[in-house]
């Protein structure tokens, strides 16, 4: 669930950032993500509904989501810094 939410968050951010002439279809992004994680919209919704009945568990899932995104952001910042400084 954490990995799917991570990918969906990235897709949402990408879609928000790309609004304009080159914007893409969010629905196709979601379908790609569901396929990648071997699930579908219906199963994802059922999982979300299930976890919504367990707020402590859902909170833990979202904390892990934030950790994933923070780690990705730190890695991207390091790559950008390394690239600008000429490090391989």
Say what the pLDDT of residue 24 is.
65
Element (H, E) at 22: none
Say what the pLDDT of residue 76 is.
80
Per-residue confidence at 31, pLDDT binned at 50, 70, 90?
very high
d(CA 17, CA 50): 31
Say what the pLDDT of residue 75 is.
86
pTM equals 0.77
pLDDT per residue over 8-28, tens digit each? Answer: 999 888 877 656 545 567 889
For the chain, the structural domain boundaries read 2-9+26-85
pLDDT per residue over 61-70, tens digit each? Answer: 999 999 999 9
**Is the alpha carbon torsion for 62, 2, 68, 83 positive or negative?**
negative
Say what the pLDDT of residue 21 is.
47
For residue 47, the tally of other CB atoms under 10 A from its CB is 15
Task: Judge contact between 2 and 60, C-beta under 8 A.
Answer: no
């Amino acid at each position: 669930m954490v990995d799917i939410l991570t990918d969906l968050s990235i897709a949402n951010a990408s879609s928000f950032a790309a609004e304009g002439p080159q914007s893409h279809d969010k629905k196709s992004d979601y379908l790609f993500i569901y396929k990648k994680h071997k699930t579908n919209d219906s199963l994802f919704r059922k999982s979300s509904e299930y976890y919504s009945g367990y707020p402590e568990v859902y909170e833990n899932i979202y904390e892990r989501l934030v950790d994933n995104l923070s780690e990705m952001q730190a890695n991207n910042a390091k790559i950008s810094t390394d690239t600008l400084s000429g490090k391989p």
